[in-house]
Structures are given as C-alpha cells and as structure tokens.
Structure 1
Amino acid sequence: MDRVAEILAEASAEVVEPRFRALAAGEIMEKAPGEVVTVADREAEAIIERRLRELLPVPVVGEEAVSADPGLARALHSEPAVWLVDPVDGTSNFIAGRPDYAVMASLVRSGRTVAAWIWQPSTATCFTAELGSGAWRNGHRLTRSPAAGEPAKWRGSLKSRFLEPEQRRRLEANAAAFGEITPGRNAAGVEYPDLVEGALDFILYWRTLPWDHAPGSLLVTEAGGVAARLDGTPYRPEAPGCEDGLLVAADPAAWERTRDILLGR
C-alpha cells in the first residue's frame, strides 16, 4: 500500500505539479470532442504504469492508453488482476489552475476493487483503502457517520451532464426534497473524499469510467458508506460504455432514501 502511494506522489512531483498553472498552449490537446488531455496526463501515466508493473506485473488500464486503444479496457474482464490508473483526475480543473485535481490508482482482482489510492497534490493528502481493512487519510482511519436527520438537511451532488434531457429534468425536480444540491467539483478524486469526510451526504453519477470510480467507491464503502448501481447492485469497475448510473451515499439507509426520492418512488 505504501509503495503505490509513493509512486503516485513521485509521478505527481516529477511531471504534474511543475506544470500546474504553467502549461504551455501546445501542452493541452483535445483527445475527443469535449475531452481534453495535457502532456502532464500522458507523462504521468507512463511513469505510473512502468512503476506499477515493476511492483506487480499485471496489465495496466490507464485512462490515456484506453483513449488511444479502447480495447485495452477488456482486461478488466479477461485478466485475473488489473491496475487502473487516472494520472490527472480533474484535468479541466488542472488546466484552469484550480487545485481540485488528483492522481489515482486502484487494483482490481476478479472484477472487484481490492485496493485504492487517491493523491491530492494541492494539499499533500493521500487517501487509501483496502478491501476489508478500512479507509485512511494520511494514515488516519476514516469512518463515515450516517447522514443526519431528514433528507431536507442533506447535501448532495447530481452529476447530470450525460443524462438525457427528460431524465435530467425529472431528477432535478425530485432533488428539491434535499437540503442542498451542488454541481460537484469536477473531480471524482475530490468528491468521493468529500463524502467520506462529511461535506456531502450523497452523489449521483451517470457516466462511470472505471479509473474515475474504482478508487473512490472503495474508499466510501470501507469507511461505512454505500456505492451501488440504481438497482442496488454493488459497484464493480466496468469497461467504458458497459454500465451507467452510480449512487454513492453516507450509509445504507441514506442510500435507499436518496434513490427513492430521486426516482420518484
């Protein structure tokens, strides 16, 4: 666990942090319509991939590598163990000079996330989780308390960008039952820790790219929260395009209540 945390922090210090608020125009590229990447993303992924393979020689499914070759994500289903890597989670924030970004990795065995790491360079904070062994922040055990009181007191986030317009309208209307709805911070590696530490009581994601959600979902569940598909199935990392919809909440009761409210049940 400690060596992977070191790998992420080292890669961040080598090629990510020196470019924060210092990116040249030619270091920002569009990899797909509406999707940007930087030279920091690509260089960090290459460093992390090489060093993770030295630690455990299994396939590495990295966000930028999959962008170039989508077939690489099949390893999540075909291989007994896989590393997942998001070299700069929150790239749009990174480009804009906002500190809400993270460097993330997770280890998946037989389709289940068994270890996770989230490095937040701006605050030098490392979140880790290991299946069955708990969630940690800079070595201190994390436990998420149940959501307090009634839904009218809860604070949540709806990530509705990829929803159909009618779905978005319906969910946003139902969400009026909650105390506060925020747009989120455009980085799963910041939002999941926010929920564990009590700044949020629930988050509804729609598109669930595995490198974005495997680390945070394990952090949440190991801290006592819930990360599940809307049918109640526990989250498992899937190749892009396989499954959509993921509700994360502070505790099982809050998860059930949030789902029922959002779906109008």
Structure 2
Amino acid sequence: MDSDQVLTLMKTVAAEVITPRFRSLADGEVMEKNPGDLVTVADHESEAILTRELSGAFPDAFILGEERTSADPTTLERYLAAEHAFTVDPVDGTKNFVHGSPDHAVMVSEVRHGETVRAWIWQPEHEVAWVAEKGAGTYRNGTRVERAPVPDDVPAVGVTSIWPLRGHSLGSLPPLLGSWVCCGVDYPRLMEGAADYILYARNSPWDHSPGALMVNEAGGVVGHPDGTPYTPQSLIPGIIVAADRSTYAAVRRQAAQAFASRDA
C-alpha cells in the first residue's frame, strides 16, 4: 500500500465503524480495560479491520495494535524484535470519543529497523488528515506543514495530559495547561502553533510513533527528559515534544524536577 491507500483505508474504517457510533454508543458498547481506562466496540472493530488489511498488504510485517497488546502483553516483545512493523491506535482519545468530544483520531505508523518511516493521523470529526514520510515532510490535508521556532521574546506555551502537572510552572516557563487528552490531536495542535511543547508520562508506541515522526519532519524535536531522542522502540517513561531544539532544551532542564514532584 502506498501512503494514500493507507489513509484511504483509515478513512473507510472510521466511516464504517467509528463515526456511526459517535454520540450514539449503545449500552454494552463501552467497557473498562482497567478502572477509568475505557474501550469501545469501535476500538475493537477498527483495530481488527486495520490489522487484517495491513497484514494482507504487508504479510511479513508485525502489527502492533493497542487492544491486541492490552489482551496479550507479549505482543510488545514481538514488536520490539520485528524488523518491519506497523503500530495501530484504532481510536485514539477513546475517553473523548465516549464523552462526545470530536477530539479523537485513528493513528497508524510504519516502523522499519526501529525507525518510524511513515505515519498517518485521521481526525474524522475534524476531517483533517496528517501524513508524514521520513525525509519527505509532514502534510496536513495535502499541504506541507513547517513549525516555526518559538520567538526568543515570547514565553513558550506548554500543555500536558498529566493531571498532577497541570498548573505546574517549569522554572521560567509559564504554567502547563491541559492538553486535548489525545495524542492524535495534541501533536497536530503543536504543529499548528496552539502549543510549543507537550509533556507526557506514558510511552506507548501506538500513541507516539505517528506524531513524533510528524513533529520531527515539521522541524520540531521529540525526546526524553534525559536528552535521549525518541524512537518507536524506546520505552523510556517521559516524553517531551517541542517546537524547536532550544525549547526542548529549556523544558528538559526543568522536566526532571516536575516529574519528581508528580511522584512525590
């Protein structure tokens, strides 16, 4: 499948099994994987179709799906050992989806030899598609996107989905605001200029592999608080997404202290 075909597949899946249930989920179509961790019939059906079609097109690739991994933790080990893989987040922002928020997405990335080489985000309710290919840029609905650096005389605006850190100031940086609680919206919003950096605690490949490639291709930086660059096989907790290298460096200097206060 070329990149347009993968995007068409994602749009078709959303139109068939996700959008018809938006604000129309029936009793019994919402479950909990863990307390507060929601999953819906749309998540399961979307992942099943995407996995089947990607496996058919790329029979030698390993498909890492969020729901498959939730049911079988050994899936992550097989993904890490694979030379060629895809990550699938069938409904990113499930809690938003359940609560009727349009801020949800379908996300896919292709990983070769431990490096993300292609990525897709489809936001069905916003009707916005993000596509990136390593070395070829990031595109929003077909238009190339480049994220401008944060001006030296303007404080960087940061967001996070880590509830204890909201309102926490990182040194000279302003307090952190609440994110859109969906990586498939957070990463695009940073590229659009609504935020200059994002802090995450959790690190799952299906959440971050697509957006990380897109931000890097748009001129941003994605790494960990210890300075290690993000890769789709680095499972180090804590991720900093930044509009530019100087913002990443400034946030990184303060992030360790902020994470320590979260865990205190």
Common fold: TM-score over 0.5 = yes
What is the aligned partner in structure 1 of residue 152 from structure 2?
Answer: 149
Asked whether 1:199 is paired with 2:194, we answer: yes
Give the counterpart letter for 1:36 in structure 2: L
Maintained 8 Å contact 2:226/2:252:
no
- Give 5+ residue unaligned stretches, structure 2: 259-264
1:114 equivalenced with 2:124 (yes/no):
no
Task: Give the match for residue 93 of structure 1.
Answer: 96
Q: Give the AA of the match of 1:44.
A: S
Segment of structure 1 superposing worse, 23-32 or 228-237: 228-237
2-structure distance, mates of 1:181, 1:251: 18
Show the counterpart of 1:215. 210
Asked if 1:60 is matched to 2:63, the reply is yes
Aligned to 2:253: 260
Displacement of 1:144: 0.4
Structure 1 counterpart SS, 2:176: strand
Residue 12 of structure 1 pairs with residue 14 of structure 2: yes
The equivalent of 1:164 in structure 2 is none
Contact 2:89 2:207 in 1 (8 A): yes
**Equivalent residue of 1:232, what SS?**
coil
User: How far, CA to CA, are the matches of 1:255 and 1:21 in structure 2?
Assistant: 38
Residue 135 (structure 1) shift? 0.5
Structure 2 match to 1:84: 87
> Which of 68, 73, 89 pairs up with 2:76?
73
Alpha-carbon shift at residue 243 of structure 1 (Å): 1.9
Aligned to 2:185, which of 186, 190, 194? Answer: 190
- CA deviation digits over 1:51-79, x for unaligned, max 9? 11122121111001111111111122211
What is the rounded CA distance, in whole Å, between the counterparts of 2:181 and 2:171 in structure 1? 22
Amino acid at match of 2:247: A
- Once the 2 structures are TM-superposed, how far is the Cα of residue 180 of structure 1 from its aligned partner? 5.0
- CA distance in 2 between counterparts of 1:264 and 1:225 reads 23
Instruction: List structure 1 segments (4+ residues) > 4 angstroms apart after TM superposition.
Output: none
**Higher helix residue share:** 1
Q: Which residue of 2 aligns with 1:131?
A: 134
Q: Once the 2 structures are TM-superposed, how far is the Cα of residue 123 of structure 1 from its aligned partner?
A: 1.5
Shift of 1:174: 3.8
Distance 2:156 2:226 in 1: 22
The structural deviation recorded for 1:173 is 4.3
**Residue correspondences, number:** 255
User: Alpha-carbon deviation of 1:158?
Assistant: 2.6
Tell me the distance in 2 between the aligned counterparts of 1:174 and 1:195: 19
2:14 aligned counterpart, secondary structure: helix
What CA distance in whole angstroms lies between the structure 1 residues aligned with 2:31 and 2:168? 36
CA contact (8 A) 2:168 2:175 kept: no
Verify the 8 A CA contact 1:75 1:82 in the aligned structure 2.
no
Instruction: Give the Cα separation in 1 of the matches to 2:125 and 2:220.
Output: 25
**How far apart are 1:235 and its partner, in Å?**
0.7
Corresponding residue for residue 49 of structure 2: 47
Distance 2:74 2:135 in 1: 31
Secondary structure, counterpart of 2:11 in structure 1: helix
Give the 3 Å change call, closer, same or farther, for CA 173–118 of structure 1 in structure 2. Answer: closer
RMSD of aligned alpha carbons: 1.8
Q: Please give the secondary structure, in 1, of the residue aligned with 2:238.
A: strand
SS at the partner of 1:123? coil
